[in-house]
Each structure stands twice: as C-alpha cells, then as structure tokens.
Amino acid sequence: MLILGIETSCDETAAAVVEINNGRTFQIKSNIIASQHEIHNKYGGVVPELACRRHVENISPVIMEALNKAGVTINDIGLFAVTKGPGLIVALLIGLSTAKAIAYALKKPLVGVNHLEGHILSIFLEKSDLSFPFVALLVSGGHTELYLVEDFGKYRILGMSRDDAAGEAFDKAAKMLKLGYPGGPAIEKAAAGGNSRSIPFPRAYIAKDSLDFSFSGVKTALKNYLNGFTPPYSTSTMYLPDVAAGFQEAIVEVLINKAFFAAKRYNVKTIVMAGGVASNKALRTGMQERGSREGIAVFYPGPILCTDNAAMIACAGYHRFAAQGFSPDTNFYEMDAEANMKL
C-alpha cells in the first residue's frame, strides 16, 4: 500500500509517499519539506499569518513534487494521512482541507494523525523491529514530554514541561544572543569549542521524583547574565561559545536525567528520542554514553525524520488505519483541526 502523508502543523509544508510492506516495514519513496525559516528568521519565531500564507502557496507544489519523486500518481495512493493537531490552527487547516478534498474526490480513505504520535512513531521508519514497551522523550519547539509507549496507539504521559518547551527555550535564547532562527541549531553551532561548565546556569528538577520539566528559569538566568554586560548582549564583552555551551548543557543535562529516571522507574530498557531537538549532537552523545553505562538502549531517527515531516505522518496514519480495522476515520468529511489535540 502507498500512503501519502501531509504535514502543515507549524512552518514546514511537507508531503511524503511511503510504502508499507507486510504490515511492518516502511519504504520512504519521497519526503519533501518546504521550510519557511527565511521568512520567520527576522522575527525570531513563527508568525502564524505568514506561515498560513506560505502553506497556501506551497501545498500543491509540494504534493506534486512528492508524487513525482516517488514515481507515482495520485491515483496510486491507497491511503491519505494528514496532521489534524496539535499545532497552529491556521496552518493545520491548510493541510487538512487539502487532504480532505483529495480523498473525497478520489473516494479514498483518510485518517487524521496526531502530530506527536507521528514524532514518536518516526523511529519505525528506520527500525521496524523495535519492540515495546519503551520510554519516548519528545523534544521539539512546542513540546517537551515523556511517554511510556506500550504499543501502537497506547501512550501514557509521564511528564511534560510546565512552561517553555526545550526548543522554545533555545529559540528565545538564540534571539537574546542575536543568533537567528531556528534557535536550536544556532545555539549548537555557537557552542562549538565552548566550556559548558564555565557559566553555572541553573538546572530545574522541580521536585525529587518529578518527571516534569521547566526551562523558563534557565532562560531568565541567561537574560540576567547578559544584562550584566555593557552594552547589553554584546558578544565583544563576553565569550559567546561558553555562554551558548553552558545554556545548551543546562537543558541537555535535565533531558537526559529525566529520561533515564523514567526508564528506571518503569523498568524499561529502551529509550526513543524524537522531535527537532533530538537532532542536537550534545543530546545524542550524552544519551548514548549514559545508555552504554546503564545498559539501556537509546534510539533516534535520522535528522530529517526528527524535524516536522510527512513521512512520520504517513507511518502513524497507517498504524491508526490498521487499528481501526482498515477503515477511514468516521465522518472524516467533517474532520476538523485541533490546535490543542492531546495524545
């Protein structure tokens, strides 16, 4: 079966053609992503109205490119999967409306996918033999959450951010440091060669046994640190690599400790990382080294599958479709976007 995935939850317009074989193994035949970073860079974050306008311009060309690269036609698609939430409502509606129109015209099944489920299941695009249960650390611009994943469609939330997501904290820090958007890659690049222990940024653990996160404090600590320089935020009066490395380490260290605490608490021997921040090299290295020491396997998809992409939506869409007895979502013509959709 060929699946066309469509993703427009934030500022990437994405479409992918994925083939499922034997109900388990996926082959990504195309995975097209049209980024909007150059549009939002000067604002230091995503502007919803601008994102919506660009989605309108990109959605049809991106779908056509995905089909052409896969060497198939729209009539060859057996299942359509689209992100219905969570995300920016104006962005979600573009992808959802498009998918509904195509599926209606072709009389093909359509399933709405939770964006977070797409991230968690993206690992199965590269590692189809991964077994359950596992702890999933989902870290992105809008979410920092820990889940116990017991099976496809069975997710138990263990902890979440009480304020800023890790990716959001990186974006705001990069804006303070005038490093541009998106903040995660900018902070990582600036941190190269820096001493991560030279500036004692705080680590927020909330409570002894808590699996929740909080990153607003380290963000405020950075602002207070920068305000101590004259003129404010001047990279000429401070060593930028140390600042970036210290801030990055303060976030990465908490993510690693919480993930392994969750794995031990629930007696799980596998941790899966997902989301845009899962591409961070310091986080990947730290997770692997800790896993080697403690006998816990750590997996994460390739960088392109950590970003918002449509292949992960196709993967999650197939598993939801299978769980529903290979039936489309009930009354899918009336399916609506859900900005705050829960997993």
pTM here is: 0.92
Q: What is the mean pLDDT of residues 306-334?
A: 88
Choose the CATH number for 2-122+306-334 among 2.20.140.10, 1.20.120.530, 3.30.420.40, 3.30.470.20: 3.30.420.40
Q: Where are the domains of the chain?
A: 2-122+306-334, 130-300
Spell out the SS3 assignment of the chain: CEEEEEECCCCEEEEEEEEEECCCEEEEEEEEEEECHHHHHHHCCCCHHHHHHHHHHHHHHHHHHHHHHHCCCHHHCCEEEEEEECCCHHHHHHHHHHHHHHHHHHCCCEEEEEHHHHHHHHHHHCCCCCCCCEEEEEECCCCEEEEEEEECCEEEEEEEECCCCHHHHHHHHHHHCCCCCCHHHHHHHHCCCCCCCCCCCCCCCCCCCCCCECCHHHHHHHHHHHHCCCCCCCCCCCCHHHHHHHHHHHHHHHHHHHHHHHHHHCCCCEEEEECHHHHCHHHHHHHHHHHHHHCCEEECCCHHHHCCCCHHHHHHHHHHHHHCCCCCCCCHHHCCCCCCCCC
Binned at pLDDT 50, 70 and 90, residue 230 comes out as low
Residue 231, pLDDT > 80, answer no
Do 2-122+306-334 and 130-300 agree at the fold level?
yes
- 30-73 pLDDT, tens per residue? 999 997 767 766 666 777 778 788 889 999 999 999 999 999 99
CATH of domain 130-300: 3.30.420.40
Residue 233, pLDDT > 60, answer no
